[in-house]
Amino acid sequence: MKQTADKFWFVTGSQHLYGPETLSQVSQQSRQIIQALAQRATLPYPLVDHGVLTTSDAIRRLFLEANADDSCAGVVVWMHTFSPAQMWIAGLSSNRKPLLHWHTQFHREIPWDRIDMDFMNLNQAAHGDREFGFMSTRMKVPRKVVVGHWQDKDSARRIGSWMHVAVGWSESQHLRLARFGDNMRNVAVTEGDKVEAGIRLGWSVEGFGVGDLAERVLKISQAEVAAQMDRYHERYVIAEGVRQDAFKMDQVRGQARIECAIRSFLEEGHFSAFTTTFEDLHGLDQLPGLAAQDLMADGYGFGAEGDWKTSGLLRVLKVMARGQATSFMEDYTYHLVPGEERVLGAHMLEVCPTIASGPPRVEVHPLSIGGKSDPARLVFDGRPGSALTVSLVDLGHRFRLVVNQVEAYAPDHPMPNLPVGRVLWRPYPSLTEAAEAWIYAGGAHHTVFTYAVSPEQIEDLATLFGLESVVIGPQSSVSQIRQQLQWGERVWGC
C-alpha cells in the first residue's frame, strides 16, 4: 500500500534573542533527536529535519512549502526554547497539513549540582511549548499534542500512531471510489451527501453501470484467470468439496474473472475503493464474494449494498492499519444468554480475510438473495483480540463517526452450516449498553471492523476531518453518551 504522502517534517521553534551559539546547540540537539529516532526505527515514517525557525517569515514559508509538497504527510513542531508565538500566526494560518505538537525536552534529568541559568535557558520547552500551545488554542488550530521525553518508547509510539492517522487523512484527500450500481433500495443509513464527502473528506464518489463491469468480465483472458487462480491457491485453502466438483471450481474461476475485471477497472481509474449491490448484477453470474474479499485483502475499500461511506472509511482505516486486520463488517445477530452476550458479525459474503484466525477456506454455496448463481466465498472465523467497530453516518447536515471498543473471541462452538467469514465479539461496556448507546448515536449496521486502529487514532482522524466522534468504550455509560450527544448537537449541530 504505497502512499504519496510518506514523510513528516520536523521543525524546531526558537528566536534570535539567544544568539548564534545557543541556536547552533538547539539545531544540533534537534538533529540528534531525529537521528536517534531514525536509528531505533521507532517511527513508521521518516521524520525529516527542517531546521530551527526564528522569524515569522521563515515560519510562514515553511508551512507554504509543506502545503505544496505532496510527499509531506504532516508537520511536527517543538519549541526547544522560547519562541514568541505571534511569530507563528502567519504560518499556522497558512498550514494545510496535519500538525503534531511534540512537547519534549532534550535533557531528561536536571543536573542538580551544576545547573545554572545557561541550562535553564537552553531547556525551556516547559514554557516555550506552552506559549505555542496558547496560540494554537487561541487560533483554534486542529492538532495533536504529545508529551514525553524523546527517548521514551511511549512518546515515539504515540507519534507513530498519529503518523498513521495523518497518512490515512492524506490518502482520504485524493480517494476515488467507484460504485457499481446504486444503494440497496429504500435503505436509509447507507445513503449520504457525496458533495459533502468531497468537501469534508476529500472523496470523489463516482457511479458506474454494472454493465461497464460485465463487459470487462467478458474480455478477461484464460491466462489472467489462471494467474488469479494461482494467487487463490497461494493465499487460501480451496475446500476439498470444491476441488472435486467441476461446477464449483467453475464458480471459483468465475470469481477470479470478476476480480480481474474489477481490479483492472479500479487500477485504470485510480480508484482505491468500490461498492457493489446484489440488486444490480446484470451481466454478472454471481455476486462478487471471493473477488471482493481478495481485493479487500489487498487494501481496497469495499462496501456492500452500495454503501460508499463504509467503503471509503474502510480504505482510509486500511491505510492507517497498513493493511493489517481490518474489514467491512455488519452486526448480524446476537447471542443473548445472560453472562455470555455476544454479537456475531458477518456479511452475506464480503468479510476481509485479513481478520481471519487461520487459513480461510474457499467454498461455494447457494445465496438465497439476488437470484444469481452460487457464489464462491472465503469462510473463516475472526481472530480473538481487542478491536473496534467504526461507523460513518450522515446526519443530513454533517457526518458523525461512531466507535465501539469490543473484545473478539474465538467461537466456542463450531458453526458448520454458516458458510461465511464471521467474527464473534463482546462490546464494551456490555452488549446492552453498547447497543443502546450506538442506537442513540445513530450508528449504522455496516461498520469497519479493525484490530489495528485505536480509539485515540479515530479521535485524531475526526480532528483532522473536523468531524464529531462518539467513542463507546469500557468507561462509557448510556447516560454519559446521551449527554455527549446532546452537547454535540450544540457544538456540531449548526
* Beta carbon nearer to Mn ion, 156 or 304: 304
At 474, which amino acid appears? P
- DSSP codes of every residue in 307-321: -HHHHHHHHHHHHHT
* Beta carbon nearer to Mn ion, 297 or 420: 420
Please report how close the Cβ of residue 449 comes to Mn ion at its closest, in angstroms.
13
* Beta carbon nearer to Mn ion, 115 or 439: 439
At 327, which amino acid appears? S
Which stretches of 181-309 are assigned E, i.e. beta strand? Answer: 204-208, 237-238, 273-275, 301-303
* Beta carbon nearer to Mn ion, 85 or 392: 392
C-alpha to C-alpha distances, 466 to 201, 435, 455, 462, nearest whole angstrom: 9, 25, 16, 6
Q: Binding string to Mn ion for residues 330 to 369, with x set by CB under 5 A, is what?
A: x---------------------------------------
- Site residues for Mn ion, 275-334, by CB under 5 A, read 304-305, 330
* Beta carbon nearer to Mn ion, 83 or 275: 275
Please report how close the Cβ of residue 332 comes to Mn ion at its closest, in angstroms.
9
Which stretches of 80-221 are assigned E, i.e. beta strand? Answer: 99-103, 144-147, 176-180, 204-208
Q: Binding string to Mn ion for residues 177 to 196, with x set by CB under 5 A, is what?
A: --------------------
Please report how close the Cβ of residue 306 comes to Mn ion at its closest, in angstroms.
10
Under 8 Å CB-to-CB from 15, ≥6 apart: which residues?
54, 81, 82, 83, 84, 87
C-alpha cell at 323: 493493511
* Beta carbon nearer to Mn ion, 31 or 445: 445
* Residue 20 C-alpha from the chain's centroid: 43
Please report how close the Cβ of residue 257 comes to Mn ion at its closest, in angstroms.
24
What burial letters (b/e) apply to 449-488, b meaning 16+ CB within 10 Å? bbbbbbbebbbbbbbbbebbbbbbbeebebeebeebbeeb
- Site residues for Mn ion, 26-55, by CB under 5 A, read none
Please report how close the Cβ of residue 351 comes to Mn ion at its closest, in angstroms.
11
Please report how close the Cβ of residue 90 comes to Mn ion at its closest, in angstroms.
49
- Site residues for Mn ion, 69-88, by CB under 5 A, read none
Q: Binding string to Mn ion for residues 418 to 457, with x set by CB under 5 A, is what?
A: ----------------------------------------
Can you tell me the distance from the alpha carbon of 126 to that of 281, in angstroms, rounded to the nearest whole number? Answer: 62
* Beta carbon nearer to Mn ion, 330 or 468: 330
User: Applying CB under 5 A, which residues contact Mn ion?
Assistant: 304-305, 330
